[in-house]
Amino acid sequence: MDLPSTIAIDGPAASGKSTLGALLAKALGYLYFDTGVMYRAVTLAALQNDVDIFDEAAIGQLAEQVRIDVGPASIDDGRDYDVMLDGQDVTWLIRKDTVNDHVSDISIYARVRKAMTEQQRRIAKENKVVMVGRDIGTVVVPDADLKIYLDASVEVRAERRYQEMLERGEPADYEAVLRSLKNRDHIDSSREIAPLKPAEDAIVIQADCLGIQQVLEKAKELVYRV
């Protein structure tokens, strides 16, 4: 039986796509690629170099220039992979609040999306991959063998993200997390290029009442059914 060699998982922030993607890739022995890290790395590069987030031309140029590498985890500190930005280990830095607050702003720019999409397509062509993002099934690899759209209500997602922050020992405020997710959902879904939405042939998993193991089981059923 031929298993799908390209699996796309899309969905809104904190729906559990990254955890699902990592577990599914591990179970299948596929490469796991979380495309959000690329948009996050460009945002961090802009913040570190004092490039104005709202200067589209400058951010576009930056996105074409920076070198982003994602590879196997080199440190055992809870990470699933290393993210390198021009040789700097930014795996945890790209998760900080200032990046959360601006990543959706830079993700609307056409030049940024083009630069990221080209790299993602190359990776999808060269590997058996579980690729996670917002536009993987709709734009990056519309011919993916299996497309999953993982959804959950914004309140459930905010609660999960809030708990993750507490577990990492970070200061956390549920209302602030909820506001930030709503803002990101709005920008991601209403942008002109590659907005967040399920592909027509995506299978939607509604995860409000499902734990990660249940979601994983559903996804595996889909993989073995294709």
Residues that bind ligand CDP (CB under 6 A): 13-14, 18, 35-36, 39-40, 103-104, 107, 133-136, 184, 188
User: Is the Cβ of residue 186 or residue 225 nearer to ligand CDP in the bound state?
Assistant: 186
Q: Which of 32, 72, 64 is nearest to 45 (CA)?
A: 64
Contact 194, 139 (CB under 8 A): yes
Q: Output the smallest distance, CB 145 to ligand CDP, in A.
A: 18
The residue type of 164 is E
User: Is the Cβ of residue 60 or residue 133 nearer to ligand CDP in the bound state?
Assistant: 133
User: Is the Cβ of residue 105 or residue 145 nearer to ligand CDP in the bound state?
Assistant: 105
Q: Output the smallest distance, CB 224 to ligand CDP, in A.
A: 26
Q: How many C-beta atoms surround the C-beta of residue 69 within 10 A?
A: 12
The residue type of 70 is V
User: Is the Cβ of residue 6 or residue 107 nearer to ligand CDP in the bound state?
Assistant: 107
Q: For residues 148 and 171, what is the distance between their CA atoms, to the nearest angstrom? A: 32
Q: Output the smallest distance, CB 16 to ligand CDP, in A.
A: 9
**Residues 68, 121, 216, CA angle at the centre, nearest 5°?**
90
Q: Output the smallest distance, CB 185 to ligand CDP, in A.
A: 8
Place of tokens 């914004």: 154
User: Is the Cβ of residue 80 or residue 145 nearer to ligand CDP in the bound state?
Assistant: 80
Q: Output the smallest distance, CB 19 to ligand CDP, in A.
A: 10
Place of tokens 């993989």: 223
Strand, helix or coil for residue 204? strand
